[in-house]
Structure 1
Amino acid sequence: MNYVFQWGIVTHALPQLFSGVLNTLAIALATIVLGIPLSIALASARDSKNAALRGLSMGWVEIARNTPALFQIYMVYFGLGSLGLRVDSMPALIAGITFNNAGYLAEAFRSAMRVFPETQIRAARSLGMTGPQVFWYIKLPQVMRVVFYPITNQLVWAILMSSLGVVVGLTNDLMGVTQNFNVRTFRTFEFFAVAGAMYYLLAKLVTVSARLLGNRLFRY
């Protein structure tokens, strides 16, 4: 093997790589922040008496869970573009991953809502609380306790899926920065090895942080 490793090149590129890490994390967080209210709406619509809402929810979940995430991103970036609706790389990536996150989290929220005791709702309504107040102050906090770790898993998944942004021209996330340096220096192994380690450490950081936060929030 005649390959000579040149880790010094990667060392000089670390500031840009760390900037890419921050952008990757920001993208993933954005998809979760947008995905949670969408997933709650989808979960509620799935049990709605309105057939149109049930159909929309079921269709969304089925597409999100049974087609590749890359397909969903492509449909936003290239599909809408072919219809004359131009969407930039980052919004397309966020929209595609958000669509995916909402589909997966909708089932988690739906399951959590179904095990919620109805007696608590009747007790809250008997005290004069409105429907929105019951949902916000009684139901949602307990549901969030159940779906906290699924949300954490989906955040890790969103971090990893954000690497797909490179195929729609995104250049400022970790994978985009890594690819740019790879093209300029041809040091494929070094840059992608470091990028892989960064993805791994970022995922572990999120997992450990969520576990510590969960232990503090849900101690009882």
Structure 2
Amino acid sequence: MDTPILSVRDVHKTYGSGQSRFEALKGVSFDVPEGQSVAIVGKSGSGKSTLMHLLALLDAPSGGSIALEGTDTRTLRGSRLNRTRNKTFGFVFQQFFLTPRASVLDNVILPLKIAGVGRAERKRRGMAALEQLELADKARNRAVDLSGGQKQRAVIARALVNNPRIIFADEPTGNLDSVTGAIVEDILFGLNREKGITLFVVTHDEELAARCDRRVYIRDGLLVEDSVAVAA
């Protein structure tokens, strides 16, 4: 059997101590095969965003373990952790997190700059990603001058520029109108199908969640339902 790309075992996450102690996750376990699209679903405060941050190695569990293709992520430290995160993951957030007055291209190639990729190769790969998202003509524009949909496509280009194996999308259509949001959804699921990129979508939108292969429901820090879509 193939090793899951992510394996989560009895993961807990606690914040604070004493009377202010709060247990955000209370023992979550599941495996994710490579190439699957997974919706992490739950109400605000359920623990779904905490879970995503742990899966993306942006934070560490208080207990339990997360394995990335068989490697216990607790063994990743410092520059090794940063390299793994930069090389393996792409991120698409609701708030965009673009540098407003920098060019679209400069925003897109930031992960390559962090990875130490040379200037010419950064530009080549950045333009290729923008071309894929039909934004090449906006490369020199300032990010602040883009529409909401264009900003989200620029964010997806940035997520793709390092050829990630996993994309984490946190409420990726939350700031978009329904038509633009549907276009962004189509792009993400197209990447999942056509490139085999594992896709995690954190959402409270049931329609968006229904497009995923699998839905993991989090409530009060617990995994309360794990359902796989039935092929039509």
TM-score after normalising by structure 1? 0.27
Higher helix share: 1
- Larger relative strand fraction: 2
